[in-house]
Structure formats: C-alpha cells, structure tokens
Copies of this chain bind each other. A is one copy, B any other.
Amino acid sequence: MKSQDKMRFFEQSEFEDRLRKVKESMYRQGMEVLLVTDPANMNYLTGYDGWSFYVHQGVLVFVDRDEPIWFGRQQDSNGARITTWLHNDNIFGYTDDYVQSNLKHPMDFAADLLKGRGYERKNLGVEMDNYYFTGQCLDTLRADLPHARIINANLLVNWVRLVKSDQEIAYMKMASRIVEKVMQTAIDTIAIGIREGDAAAAVYQAQISGTEEFTGDHSAIFPIMPSGIRTSTAHLSWVDRRYESGDIVLLELSGCKYRYHAPLSRTVMVGQPPKNLEDIAKTVVDGLNQVLDFIKPGVTGEEIEAKWRSAVAGSKVVKESRIGYAYGLNYPPDWGEHTVSLRPGDKNVLQPNMTIHVMPGIWLDEFGFECSEPIYITAKGCETFVNFERKLFVKKGT
C-alpha cells in the first residue's frame, strides 16, 4: 500500500477532534474502551468505508491510546488500509473460518485483541442497539471477557456526530445538489403508462451520475416511491406495473456524497387530484412552512413538534409519528442518526450546524402525502439545504 493510494475526505485534525470528543464522552461514562460496530461511527472515527458490514467488524477506541484499532475480515483489511488514516499495525483481519461459523465468532477475535492489550478486566462500552451488534456478539463478549464490565454505549458516537463540521455541511450541500436533480427526474418521468420500475431506474441513475462536477454515492435507504394504496404506509416502493390516472405517488429520495445524505420528500398526483388530497397538501405545506420559520438555536425537538401540531390543528391532518429527525453520514439500513427526534418528550436543544430532516409524512388509510425539507441550523434560524418547490405536483395526461 503506497501512501498516495490512501483516500481521505477529511483533514487529520478533524478525525482527531472527533476522537477527542468520543474519548471525553467515554471518560464521563466510565468507559476505558469502546467497541464501535455501527458502520457510520466506524467511518466517522477512522474513515473506513466499504460494504463489508454484512460480516462482523468493528473499531476499538481506548481512552488511553492515541489510535483506535480496526478489525474485520481478512479480505477487507486492504480496504481498511486504503480508506482509513490508521497505521498498518492497528489493522487486524480475521481468517475466513470466523465467517458465519458455529465454532468461532468474530467477537472472539475482538476479545483476543482486548486480552492481548490488558483490557480484559476493564469497562467496555458496546453499542447495544446497533444493527450490527447482535445478541450473539453480546453473549460472546460476556463469555470471553467474564471480568470486564460491559456498559451500554449505544449512540455515544452518534451524539458526537449531531453537530456537523463545516466540511460535513459542505458534503451535505453536494448531496443536496444531487437530490434536486433526482427529485426533478422522478417528477419528470412519472406519467400515465410509464412502468414504475423505469421511473425508479431513472431515479437511481440520477442519484449516482450526480452533477457535471461530481458523481454520487449509494444512499442508505432505497428510493421510496410507492403508488396508489401503497402510499397508505411508510416504506413500500415501486412494483411491476404502469402508472394510471388516479395514482398518487410518494417520493422519499436522497442524494448521497461521501456517505453524507440529503433526503427529500414530495408527492406526485397522476391525473386530477381529489379535493381531500389538495386540502391535505395545502395544510401540510403551510404547517411545514410555519415549522421552518420557527426553528432556531435554543428550541427543543418537542417545541418544534408542538408548533406543527398547532399549525395543523382543526384540519383533517393527523400525524401520530415524529415529524423529523437528525441525519447525515450513514450506511444501510437508515440515514437517520437516531438522536434528535421531533416529537413529544424530546428535550434536545437545537444548536448551529445540527442537520434535521423535517418530514411530516402523512399516511392515511387510503393514501398518503409527503413534503419534507432537509435543513441545517444557523446562528439565528435554519436554512433549507434544497431549493425545490413545496406543493403537490400534478401530472395530467391521457
């Protein structure tokens, strides 16, 4: 591996700053070592980037050691050499007999790394509710490290990620340029007689080809673009049929650059919109506008939700789920950060450079309506990342 083969998207000082904040949080919570298995958190701390999270892997952060350790499957360790800032002697690949085996588990390998460094009796933080930290991971570590104290460190790194650096905001702006093209492509393509899969194909093409200046990356959630009755729920998408007059199509799409996202939702009506859809669209867009005017540093997640609730009071719009969440760097299956949620009980106070997807999606029994905005908090208010008209888009035709 030559040094010029290394790929870096952030200055070394930024990685050091992130690591320092994580170590401070570990120290406050009494952790001497932290096992990071969330791929976004692994990337955040080391730069590691690869679709290898379908096997167990992780980053070990020690309060009293400068550099973390990356471990993963042997065939991915060159990927760690290429994409991380770590030195070679902190990259450890396990042999293939650990992969999907009944006899050995990759967490045995992680436990051996800790034992070899004298950490087998320390306080070990683990990301208890992360997708890639399974029940088996937990029980294996408990069996291998009976004298360690295992502490729940779920979302510890996610909370550090909440306030973005200017470089991160810059990448999110690149992703936003992409999603503007993606959304316009979707609206332009959807029409009576077009196959839903062809519209989805055009969306994917736009996501990855990006702009003239830069190409895009895969987004952490697939293009959510259901039609008809499938708009009555949140996470269905295209099927093998052609659009017909009367179809409502929800579009929850994202651009992605260097794993930073720009999610955006809009709704398309194919043919003449029913009156109740027009009413709901007007109420939601007005409510969204009021919420965007309200957001500024110092307000809490629950205050924003209350603002929404009062804005739509007396209308037909009922929204029982949260109206937004923090987002940014991520991998499948989610671009949300799982920290701030705009809902009752959320006491988190917004600060400049936090990034939120304000997403008041409405899913009724027969159809849905979506219109959202990705935003960042500024010194005095908030800015939308994306410039895209907020309305119900109507595609007439025969």
Using CB atoms and an 8 Å cutoff, list the residues of chain A in contact with chain B: 1-2, 5, 7, 49-54, 73-79, 82-83, 95-97, 99-100, 105, 126, 128-139, 152, 154, 195-198, 200-202, 204-210, 214-216, 218, 221-222, 224, 229-230, 232-240, 320-322, 332-334, 336, 338, 341, 343-345, 361, 363, 365
- Docked Cα-Cα span, A173 to B152, in Å, equals 45
- Docked Cα-Cα span, A231 to B39, in Å, equals 21
CB distance from A222 to the nearest CB of B (A): 5
Residues of B within 8 A of A73 (CB): 234, 321
Looking at the complex, which one of B134, B154, B234, B238 makes contact with A133 (CB distance below 8 Å)?
A: B134
Further 9 A-B residue pairs, CB within 8 A, beyond A82-B232, A198-B208: A49-B236, A51-B221, A51-B333, A54-B334, A79-B230, A79-B235, A99-B322, A126-B135, A201-B215
Most chain-B Cβ atoms within 10 A of its Cβ — which of A100, A139, A209, A363?
A: A100
Q: Is the CB of A205 within 8 A of B201?
A: yes
- Docked Cα-Cα span, A344 to B99, in Å, equals 12
Q: Is the CB of A50 within 8 A of B134?
A: no
Q: Is the CB of B224 within 8 A of A240?
A: no
Q: Is the CB of B215 within 8 A of A197?
A: yes
Q: Is the CB of B134 within 8 A of A235?
A: no
Residues of B within 8 A of A77 (CB): 233
28 residue pairs bridging A and B, Cβ less than 8 Å apart = A5-B229, A49-B236, A50-B236, A51-B221, A51-B222, A54-B221, A74-B321, A75-B234, A78-B232, A78-B233, A79-B230, A82-B230, A82-B233, A82-B236, A96-B321, A97-B345, A99-B321, A100-B341, A128-B135, A128-B136, A128-B139, A131-B131, A134-B134, A195-B209, A196-B215, A204-B208, A208-B238, A214-B240
Looking at the complex, which one of B82, B200, B235 makes contact with A208 (CB distance below 8 Å)?
A: B200
Closest residue on chain B to residue A341 by CB atoms: B100
Q: Is the CB of B215 within 8 A of A51?
A: no
CB distance from A259 to the nearest CB of B (A): 12
Residues of B within 8 A of A128 (CB): 134-136, 139
- Docked Cα-Cα span, A128 to B334, in Å, equals 21
- Docked Cα-Cα span, A332 to B73, in Å, equals 18
Closest residue on chain B to residue A344 by CB atoms: B97
CB distance from A267 to the nearest CB of B (A): 16
Contacts A135-B126, A138-B138, A209-B201 given; does A52 touch B215 at CB 8 Å: no
CB distance from A201 to the nearest CB of B (A): 4
Q: Is the CB of B96 within 8 A of A343?
A: yes
Residues of B within 8 A of A234 (CB): 50, 52, 73, 75-76, 79
